[in-house]
Structure 1
Amino acid sequence: METESVAAAHGDEAAFAGLAERYRWELRVHCYRMLGSFDEAEDLVQETLLRAWRYRGSFQGRSTFRAWLYRIATNVCLDFLDRHPRQPAAGAAGGPAEVEWLQPFPDRLLEPVADREAEPETAVVARETIELAFLVAIQHLPARQRAVLILRDVLGWSAAETGELLGMSVAAVKSALQRARPVLRAHLPQRGSGQAMVPTTQERELLRRFMTAHERADIATFAELLSADVRLSMPPLPYSFVGRAEVAAFAEQALGPGSALHRGQWRGVPVSANRQPAMAGYIRRPGDPSYQAQVLNVVRVEHGRISEITAFRPEVFEAFGLPATLS
């Protein structure tokens, strides 16, 4: 590794490309946590690698090549957030704030392609640090506090390492973390401990029932799957619905006899996003030869019921390797 890093720093394109590809997947996850947007994370990972190549001579070997790339990626994200400041929008009727730029992350991109044993320093992406609820909560933090929390509590970096990366004193890092943690906790949903890394059998069965109810426009069965305090949001649209009755009423409006979609035929495809069960919904309207991509629903399950549904536009299908149409 050390020889490869030195070669990359001295302009060996093959060595640099090998290292860049090795770490691309986790840099993408890091940028995604910082931004909450998959598309922006993709763009900024590319900017990170371009910047790393341009300033490759600045790598002096005082840290690992991985840590050096994280420094660049974090600063690229902070620069972006400085240029594009944004805050979650206030929720309707005092409800949870809306992160209108939120996008889902395909589970298939959460792990490296290479053999993990070759990279013992690389940690598995824990579910609680990639779920949509975590992504929404962390967007409430100022950008630098967000970076400190991710580096310290998610990646496990020391206060000294974090301070060196961000150009902060150890005392400033500790202070930022102390301010960030309560804000994060305040915006996270209550949950049980010991979450499974991937959707459980129970969650997959609940998703199957959800898909069946959706395909049949069976609002009564759909409502039975929901928790009493379920929440439905639809980023980037600034709308949300809270409570079983309100979400079921919206589903009736969207899928019921009075809807323009009611006469169409639905087909669901199970996928996995952010370590959560999800459904890609396709619809074939009367006279259409094929099913068209319509919605990607990511669900969160608590105590055997659906506690949250985040519905995304079909523009996100490409990242999941999903076709725009089904025959």
Structure 2
Amino acid sequence: MSLEVETVRTLDEASFAELVGRHRGELQVHCYRMVGSFEDAEDLVQETFLRAWRGRETFQGRSSLRAWLYRIATNAGLDFLERHPRQPRPRAPQADGAGASPYDLPWLQPYPDRLLDLAAPADAEPDAAVVAKETIELAFMVAIQHLPPRQRAVVILRDVLGWPAADTAGLLELSVAAANSALQRGRATLKEHLPPRRLEWGAADDPTRAERALLQRYMAVLDHADIGPAMAELLHEDVRVTMPPHPYYYVGREPYIASLLPLLDPASPEYFGQWRSVATRANRQPAIAHYVRRPGDTEFRPQVLDVLRVVDGRIAEITSFVPALFPAFGLPATV
């Protein structure tokens, strides 16, 4: 019996939890890719550690402890998706540009960059792909949700984690030929659902000076209720705006700006109040946490988290999320 196998099998519960806990961050990112929800991924990591503790006698040492945990996490994710089937539902937008999203994914949630930074493997193995921008950005997360669960697992294991075909097939109890076939089908589906020119977005994880300036201008426009030309020049003409878990969808600069006007106009019955914004990052993309001070209130309270896709110096896509995850981003309760 190897030293690693003996260690895993003989540790007490607290020591075992400390040992496997070193992999918590990257396992949560793995589960997030599987299910698309930050909160569900947190629960799945807990389930993974529980299964590992209960099944520690089954650890044979034929692979590393880390690979063993990935196997458990993958199966936990597949079991979750079997109990909670999730399929993007196509919906047709209305003619005026406002309406339901063509693909409704109400379970989709953002992932804080500050936790992605912690999730990167400390040993700097080829596993930097665990938190690579192209496999964690929202466009990828939306596209991969279109894959059936086992096909999704094959793509993640092969193309994100770099697992060999034989290991992937063994985990999923498939033949190597079947695993390779699933990989090719999964890649084809991803290509269908990823936006055009995706590889031209830029690979840098850190925001550029121009991107930071764009964010500051966007925040200032909302904070000062300066909707009109100032907002229009920040947006692509065909900007796309979605709002999970709500099915609302806007395509085009004019419909989106029109939707904001009554929320920022004190004379409108739909007036929200004054806005304040805080810059952050999610899924390796720029993001803004918006707070609102309602009429009669004394504090600015969480309202929405916008995750932005910037192309050619303008905002091409805005994905707006409810503020439930502000604490995970380290954001204040009020400003």
Q: Into which bin does the TM-score normalised by the smaller protein fall?
A: over 0.9
* Cα gap change, 1:114 to 1:86, in 2 (>3 Å): closer
* Cα gap change, 1:81 to 1:284, in 2 (>3 Å): same
CA contact (8 A) 2:310 2:316 kept: yes
Task: Identify the residue that residue 149 of structure 1 maps to in structure 2.
Answer: 155
1:4 offset after TM fit, Å? 4.7
Task: Identify the residue that residue 122 of structure 1 maps to in structure 2.
Answer: 127
User: CA-atom RMSD, angstroms?
Assistant: 2.0
* Cα gap change, 1:49 to 1:121, in 2 (>3 Å): farther
CA contact (8 A) 2:263 2:272 kept: no
Unaligned runs of 5+ in 2: 95-100
CA contact (8 A) 1:22 1:114 kept: no
Cα distance in structure 1, aligned partners of 2:333 and 2:52: 35
Is 1:40 equivalent to 2:40 in the alignment?
A: yes
User: Which residue of 211, 214, 217 maps to 2:222?
Assistant: 214
User: Which residue of 295, 298, 301 maps to 2:307?
Assistant: 298
CA contact (8 A) 1:11 1:56 kept: no
Is 1:131 equivalent to 2:137 in the alignment?
A: yes
1:19 offset after TM fit, Å? 2.5
After TM superposition, list the pairs within 5 Å mapping 1:267-282 onto structure 2: 267-282=276-291
- Cα deviation, 1:74-101, whole Å, max 9, x if unaligned, reads 0000001001112112233285312111
| 1:150 aligned partner, one-letter code | I
Matched residue SS, 1:110: helix
* Cα gap change, 1:137 to 1:115, in 2 (>3 Å): closer
TM-score, reference length from structure 1:
0.93
After TM superposition, list the pairs within 5 Å mapping 1:304-319 onto structure 2: 304-319=313-328
Task: Identify the residue that residue 247 of structure 2 maps to in structure 1.
Answer: 238
CA contact (8 A) 1:271 1:278 kept: yes
1:251 offset after TM fit, Å? 1.7
Residues paired across the two proteins, number: 324
Cα distance in structure 2, aligned partners of 1:177 and 1:145: 7
Cα distance in structure 1, aligned partners of 2:191 and 2:81: 22
1:115 offset after TM fit, Å? 8.0
Cα distance in structure 2, aligned partners of 1:260 and 1:68: 57
Cα distance in structure 1, aligned partners of 2:136 and 2:103: 18
User: Which residue of 166, 170, 189 maps to 1:164?
Assistant: 170
| 1:237 aligned partner, one-letter code | H
Cα distance in structure 1, aligned partners of 2:5 and 2:237: 54
1:285 offset after TM fit, Å? 2.0
CA contact (8 A) 1:227 1:305 kept: yes
Task: Identify the residue that residue 18 of structure 1 maps to in structure 2.
Answer: 18
CA contact (8 A) 1:300 1:307 kept: yes
Task: Identify the residue that residue 183 of structure 1 maps to in structure 2.
Answer: 189
Cα distance in structure 2, aligned partners of 1:102 and 1:161: 29
Cα distance in structure 2, aligned partners of 1:170 and 1:248: 51
* Cα gap change, 1:72 to 1:113, in 2 (>3 Å): closer
1:20 offset after TM fit, Å? 1.5
1:9 offset after TM fit, Å? 2.4
Cα distance in structure 1, aligned partners of 2:93 and 2:119: 45
* Cα gap change, 1:292 to 1:126, in 2 (>3 Å): same
Is 1:57 equivalent to 2:75 in the alignment?
A: no
Unaligned runs of 5+ in 1: none
Is 1:74 equivalent to 2:79 in the alignment?
A: no
CA contact (8 A) 2:154 2:183 kept: yes
User: Which residue of 303, 311, 332 maps to 1:323?
Assistant: 332
CA contact (8 A) 1:5 1:16 kept: no
| 1:298 aligned partner, one-letter code | V
